[in-house]
Structure 1
Amino acid sequence: MINRQSLIAKYFPPIGLRFLIIILLILGIFFRFAYLDRKVYWHDEAYTSLRISGYTKTEFVQQVFNGRVFAVGDIQKYQQPNSEKGLINTINSLAVEDAQHPPLYYVMLRLWMQFFGNSVATTRSLSAIISLIAFPCIYWLCLELFQSPITAWISVAFLTVSPFNVLYAQEARELSLWMVTTLLGSAVLLRAIRLGSKHLWGIYAVTVALGLYTFLFSALVAIAHAIYVFAIESFRFTKTVKAYLIATSVGFLAFVPWILTVINSLSEIHRTTTSAQARQSVSALVSGWISNISYLFADFWRYEPFFPDLNLPVLRWGRFLIPLLLILVIYSFLFLYRQAGTRVWLFVFILSGVPALALILPDLIIGGKVSLRARYVIPSYVGVQLAVAYLLAGQIISSKLIARKFWQLVMVVVISSGVVSCAVSSQAETWWNKSSHANPQIARIINKANKPLLISSNYSLNIGDIMSLINLLDTQVQMQLVIEPSMPNIPDSFSEVFFYNPSKELRYELENKYKLVEVFQYSRLWRLEQKSS
């Protein structure tokens, strides 16, 4: 075991492999910035823009869902920085209605949009740029953890063309920043433990604060780090433990103002996260966890709902990779446990296990589906990618020719699957990580209509989906929004009238006066026509 670990640590990737990884790096950068505005600017991203505008959801509903007819262009101020609301209003909007999202990313994005503009591509480009910082961070983390250049290179290769990471690098949410703070904080922690420098522990305190101000679940990363530090110090109060506790305490103290905000908003947080509390069967949970893990490496078989006219059986067969990828991940952790030192495998196991179990156990015991939302388990997926990279780094330099060729083939298949997945999803208008799937098609129908009026209400998730639609509709399209159960007073001056997702009760009321024609199946869009007398 010592010989194998020593070999992996000393082995530097040959020129050919380095050249391949540089090509993959270029591809990964391309996939992150290509077609940034192609995919639907979905429900959650629309709420990002609402926060950036400085308006609250309550203000938006009060000022817009009042039954008046207006042009789409008249309400775009609720989706971009404007002169009426400043940076403080952006922070206040989060504090009042969305405290589960700390303000760091939103402050950065507002400043970015004020300087560079507010198009969809510009808005998403900040996340794409931040995602590039993850490359040197994971390289550094691998050097600190494995002391292995080849493992670091392979980790970068996986990260660059991971369909999961590329998808979230193109989204106007804080997830790219969370990935960076997780990787950076982990690398700094390991270096601080190794060198014992007060300067490094100070930097670690900063990464703790930055992580918490990026995403609340960064607290789970800090807990994982704490367990690791105590474990490697044999649960004794050593100088390292003392330094860790001081640094972490400073990081959490810096976060106290937002902690108080979260405490004051617990009822609002509970209300806005109700959809994640629906109980799921154990089989549904397990199936979802396995699928999410596979998306780290490939997801091209998910193309059918988004390319209904594309008939490529070879892509559909890709779903048979799911059990193989699961086997690869499980074997990677076993290999890591058997071949790496205790400090190495313990770090990866704890980083993967703590955030995952913190979400999985409540879903199993109390009920819910938070653990099915892959974006919430990003630190765990970092651990998965590190384990797989270590396995392949160790096996592709095996002294046995057959084993070496087999694992080289495995690496080629995994990386190629990631490239194909990124290439396929880059051409889609939407993908599995987004809702609001039908909005692009709905917008095309409305934009092509002759003098259209779009009506909707505050029913269900309509508010976020309407904000998503705003980014797709022509600015001259007219809208009329109401608060249910109010009935809209529909003017007679429009050639075509559409209703977006009315509740059953409102639809029943409308059917007393109009004929409702479903525009296309499952679209939630209806055309209102006068009943023949």
Structure 2
Amino acid sequence: MAVAQSLKHVKNRLTQTKLLPPSWLQFFIIVVLVLGVFFRFVNLDRKVYWGDETLTSLRIAGYTKAELVQELFDGHLIGVEDLQKFQQPNSEKGASGTINSIVVDTPQHPPLYFLMARYWVQRFGYSPGIIRSLSALISLLAFPCIYWLCQELFGSSLAGWIAIALIAVSPFQVLYAQEARPYSLWIVAILLSSAALLRAMRLGNRDTKTLISTWGLYAATLALGIYTQLFFALVAIGHGIYLLTIEKFRFTKTVFAYLLASLAGLLTFVPWLLILIANSSTVEKTTDWSRQKESLFSWVKAWTRNITRTFLDTDPAGGVIEFGFNNQWTEFIRLTLVGMILFLSGYAIYFLCRNTGKQVWLFVLTLLGVTALPFISRDLISGGGLSGSTRHLVAVYLGIQLAIAYLLATKISLPSRSAKVQKLWQFVLVAVVSSGVISCAISSQQEIWWNKALSQTEYNPKVAQIINKTAHPLLISNEKLNFFLPLTYALEPKVRLQLVVKPNVPQIPDGFSDVFLYRSSKELRKALQKQNYKIEPAYQTGQVWLWKLEKKV
């Protein structure tokens, strides 16, 4: 009973006062924050530039896949620099070219991030590190945004600071802050729009000026979110369900203001919505990967892995924890750590629901449920694997981190007579944050991590090393762009290329010290053998990634 009264007292303090962290925790959070910034920017150029990122570069350059293939995949000799023309802005294509590239190839990707990236590299130059630095910088905005959201949701500075610490060294957050993709902007949009909604609900009816400014800000965040990522629409729907539930489905002034703001924000998306409708067949074709059949066990494994990766991720191959060797003890430790993280996440949500008012717990639950249930339902019905894709459930991970931030802020704020409980939860906080620091420290030193689509890029550094060691190499390929383009970032300028589309066969010229074939089709190898070439594996790991060609005497 005494503990329950203490929890109730702390809850009142959290929601009614500006509780600041104790001095030791302030220092701890500052150190974590510095580490979080460091991890976002370290080795940006060193990490493999993978398929989706090369397509980002293709977008900001303003070219379509068809234009690149038409100009370069006709069998004539080209250099790495010829491909780079299609990877960076130039005078031939303007911002309209970027938009056209998205419309033609991937209309399901709104253009905001790609336009920002185009102007970024025009201003600062082009390299993988420079373009990724835009995402890293944007990710820093998540810190003040989640602090603001915690203030609006919990009324707690302490919860806000803990939330900052959690996302600062979250392995998931850091990995996607280093991607030349829109994910960090999407995270900021979710946090910013959520805080803006709560602020508008709290202040919007004071006077006309406040109503316009608060709900106008919310409308602007909706436009920001929907032009960053289409799945932001689920967050907006969750906001609507939350607000209508809090207002008891009555047509109040708040509901009216919300509807106007939502209409204003979403009306800005009408032009791109018309583009989506007109290019629906392209959307269907370019998202067919999400319809690949997966078993229920695969879904559960993916969901478990993805939640755990929010706090702990030391396995570059796509697991959760890698010890360097496997036996029954490492497996036991691995399962124990995963179980503890899942338990902490579940308990945090339970604790939030038991110890906060409806306006608090319902917000977090709608953020979690409305964004996750459509993916899960779709997969259960159709058998696809969309819900197992880590990057599409950003809002779910943020909701879990909010719940854990509230749990830890409450527990470590217990009165002095509960010192043992305080110490225990202080240890939990340090352990959770430390697991993130360790994970980020390990991944920051690696060229390849699971988020780089290992099936596309895992062995590219070793393949490039073999090719680069030769004196005057020729590399032949008829591989897809998202496989081949990442490899070219690791090739030296001396490498010449001969690219064709299936089923065409190149005529190999003389004068090269070594001739290689990259991930070719069986038909191409047979055709080259008919040209009197002997073909042997040059690099093989399960499948052959690189072939060596030698002219028969």
Fold shared per TM-score above 0.5: yes
Matched, 1:200 2:214: yes
**1:521 match:** 541
**One-letter identity of the residue aligned with 1:136:** P
TM-score normalized with structure 2 length: 0.92
Structure-2 change in CA distance of 1:264 and 1:303 (3 Å):
closer
**2:382 match:** 366
Output one character per residue of 1:201-228: Cα deviation in whole Å (capped at 9) or x when no partner.
0111111011111111111111010000
- Structure 1 residue 457: deviation in Å? 0.8
Instruction: Report if aligned partners of 1:303, 1:425 keep a CA contact under 8 Å in 2.
Output: no
Output one character per residue of 1:124-162: Cα deviation in whole Å (capped at 9) or x when no partner.
000000000110000000000000111101000001000
Tell me which moved more, 9-18 or 205-214.
9-18
Instruction: Report if aligned partners of 2:321, 2:334 keep a CA contact under 8 Å in 1.
Output: no
- Structure 1 residue 319: deviation in Å? 5.7
Q: Which runs of 5+ in 2 are unaligned?
A: 1-6, 205-210
- Structure 1 residue 526: deviation in Å? 2.6
Structure-2 change in CA distance of 1:509 and 1:306 (3 Å):
farther
Structure-2 change in CA distance of 1:212 and 1:308 (3 Å):
closer
**2:3 match:** none
Output one character per residue of 1:399-444: Cα deviation in whole Å (capped at 9) or x when no partner.
4233222211111111100000000000000101112121122112
- Structure 1 residue 74: deviation in Å? 2.1
**Equivalents in 2 of 1:121, 1:524: separation in Å?**
30
**2:252 match:** 238
**Residue of structure 2 aligned with 1:377, choices 393, 396, 410:** 393
Structure-2 change in CA distance of 1:112 and 1:304 (3 Å):
closer
**One-letter identity of the residue aligned with 1:229:** L
**Residue of structure 2 aligned with 1:90, choices 85, 89, 98:** 98
- Structure 1 residue 311: deviation in Å? 6.4
**Equivalents in 2 of 1:306, 1:411: separation in Å?**
20
Instruction: Report if aligned partners of 2:60, 2:98 keep a CA contact under 8 Å in 1.
Output: yes
**One-letter identity of the residue aligned with 1:28:** G
**2:134 match:** 126
**Equivalents in 2 of 1:76, 1:95: separation in Å?**
22
Output one character per residue of 1:157-188: Cα deviation in whole Å (capped at 9) or x when no partner.
00100010000001100011000111000000
Structure-2 change in CA distance of 1:307 and 1:282 (3 Å):
closer
Matched, 1:465 2:483: yes
**Equivalents in 2 of 1:403, 1:309: separation in Å?**
31
**1:453 match:** 474
- 1:132-151 to structure 2, matched below 5 A, reads 132-151=140-159
Instruction: Report if aligned partners of 2:10, 2:413 keep a CA contact under 8 Å in 1.
Output: no
**2:271 match:** 257
Structure-2 change in CA distance of 1:502 and 1:319 (3 Å):
farther
**Equivalents in 1 of 2:321, 2:494: separation in Å?**
29
**Equivalents in 1 of 2:474, 2:55: separation in Å?**
24
**Equivalents in 1 of 2:225, 2:191: separation in Å?**
10
**Residue of structure 2 aligned with 1:102, choices 92, 104, 110:** 110
Structure-2 change in CA distance of 1:444 and 1:209 (3 Å):
same
SS in 2 for 1:215: coil
**Equivalents in 1 of 2:336, 2:48: separation in Å?**
28
Instruction: Report if aligned partners of 1:482, 1:488 keep a CA contact under 8 Å in 2.
Output: yes
**Residue of structure 1 aligned with 2:362, choices 332, 346, 349:** 346
- Structure 1 residue 302: deviation in Å? 4.0
**Residue of structure 1 aligned with 2:68, choices 43, 60, 73:** 60
SS in 1 for 2:75: coil
**Residue of structure 2 aligned with 1:503, choices 508, 521, 532:** 521
- 1:101-500 to structure 2, matched below 5 A, reads 101-196=109-204, 197-302=211-316, 317-318=333-334, 320-399=336-415, 400-435=418-453, 436-458=457-479, 462-500=480-518
- Structure 1 residue 515: deviation in Å? 3.1
**2:10 match:** 4
Instruction: Report if aligned partners of 2:187, 2:395 keep a CA contact under 8 Å in 1.
Output: yes
- Structure 1 residue 501: deviation in Å? 1.3
- Structure 1 residue 36: deviation in Å? 0.7
**One-letter identity of the residue aligned with 2:265:** G
Tell me which moved more, 491-500 or 97-106.
491-500
**Equivalents in 1 of 2:477, 2:93: separation in Å?**
26
- Structure 1 residue 12: deviation in Å? 2.2
- Structure 1 residue 527: deviation in Å? 2.4
Instruction: Report if aligned partners of 1:303, 1:424 keep a CA contact under 8 Å in 2.
Output: no
How big is the alpha-carbon RMSD for the aligned residues of Structure 1 and Structure 2? Answer: 2.1
Tell me which moved more, 518-527 or 380-389.
518-527
Instruction: Report if aligned partners of 1:79, 1:467 keep a CA contact under 8 Å in 2.
Output: no
**Equivalents in 1 of 2:318, 2:12: separation in Å?**
46
SS in 2 for 1:70: strand
- Structure 1 residue 398: deviation in Å? 2.7
SS in 2 for 1:327: helix
Tell me which moved more, 302-311 or 94-103.
302-311
Tell me which moved more, 337-346 or 293-302.
293-302
Instruction: Report if aligned partners of 1:4, 1:339 keep a CA contact under 8 Å in 2.
Output: no
Output one character per residue of 1:329-362: Cα deviation in whole Å (capped at 9) or x when no partner.
0001000000111110000000011111111110
Instruction: Report if aligned partners of 1:130, 1:177 keep a CA contact under 8 Å in 2.
Output: yes
**One-letter identity of the residue aligned with 1:424:** I
**Equivalents in 2 of 1:409, 1:451: separation in Å?**
58
Instruction: Report if aligned partners of 1:100, 1:216 keep a CA contact under 8 Å in 2.
Output: yes
Output one character per residue of 1:357-392: Cα deviation in whole Å (capped at 9) or x when no partner.
111110111121111111111111110100111111
**Equivalents in 2 of 1:297, 1:409: separation in Å?**
15
Instruction: Report if aligned partners of 1:188, 1:204 keep a CA contact under 8 Å in 2.
Output: yes
Tell me which moved more, 115-124 or 3-12.
3-12
- Structure 1 residue 524: deviation in Å? 4.1
**Equivalents in 1 of 2:199, 2:447: separation in Å?**
42
**Equivalents in 1 of 2:391, 2:231: separation in Å?**
11
Instruction: Report if aligned partners of 1:442, 1:523 keep a CA contact under 8 Å in 2.
Output: no
Tell me which moved more, 155-164 or 73-82.
73-82
**Equivalents in 2 of 1:44, 1:477: separation in Å?**
23
SS in 1 for 2:91: coil
**1:530 match:** 550
- Structure 1 residue 523: deviation in Å? 6.1
Tell me which moved more, 430-439 or 35-44.
430-439
Q: How many residues align?
A: 530
Structure-2 change in CA distance of 1:42 and 1:385 (3 Å):
same
Q: Which runs of 5+ in 1 are unaligned?
A: none
